Structure 1
Amino acid sequence: MLKTLVFGASLKPNRYSNLAINRLVRHNEKVVAFGLKAGEVAGVSIDTELLDYEDVDTVTLYMNPMRQKEYYNYIVSLGPRRVIFNPGTENPEFYRILRENNIQPEIACTLVLLSTDQY
């Protein structure tokens, strides 16, 4: 089953990445998560190591552009179909790298896409 990687996941309930994990799970999406602090949100473990996830369809970013740079190669290596740049994560340099690797950058909000059945 294809899955979504929530990249920049937070244990804090008021963070958008946390809300996204909860909503993705409620929408029966398969979810994996990477963050700086290990823990669990809605039954999803937040990994603190860069794992070689398989079958990643979507990476939804919750990390500011300055912090993204060190993860470019990793995210590209997962071979997702698309990377969603949530508000505050917009990064034209990364868009270009993704397009060069046949990965679709999508400037959107995961929460809005889910609530409008466009995910």
Structure 2
Amino acid sequence: MNKTTLVMGASTNPSRYSNMAIKKLRNAQVDVKAFGLKKGKVIDVSIDTEPIDYDSIDTVTLYLGAKNQPEYYNYIIGLQPRRVIFNPGTENPDFYKILKANDIESEVACTLVLLGTNQY
């Protein structure tokens, strides 16, 4: 299970779900890239503040509300992930349609729950 995941909306604040997700993903031996508003580090994962064209992103897990997602549509599609996970509070039917048109799965789920139940 070494498929690279990009956490969008990453935070160094330990009480944020994106922070918890990075820790759980790393504990599950998943390679993680992170994008957020502020530079920082969570365990061994550096948070980038500029979109980077990563190679081989399998999953993008969103911690950005729907109103903050449109500016990243093209970026996420350009990464050509297998799937995009919409965590609670990030649901966005408009983006689901765009992803489907680009042959990218969208999954409305909680990354933490998926990891905790071995469904990631």
TM-score, normalized by the shorter chain, greater than 0.5: yes
3-state SS of paired residue (2:67):
helix
Q: CA RMSD in A?
A: 0.6
Structure 1 outlier segments of 4+, above 4 Å: none
Q: Distance in 2 between matches of 1:71 and 1:98?
A: 12
Aligned to 2:22: 21
Q: Deviations over 1:45-70 (max 9, x none)?
A: 00001101010000000000000010
Q: Deviations over 1:29-88 (max 9, x none)?
A: 000000000000011000001101010000000000000010000000000000000000
Q: Deviations over 1:88-107 (max 9, x none)?
A: 00000000000000000000
Q: Distance in 2 between matches of 1:54 and 1:47?
A: 15
Aligned to 2:35: 34
> Where does structure 2 lack aligned partners over 5 or more consecutive residues?
none
3-state SS of paired residue (2:114):
helix
State, as a whole percentage, how many aligned pairs show the same letter: 62
Q: Which aligned pairs between 1:1-119 and structure 2 lie closer than 5 A?
A: 2-119=3-120
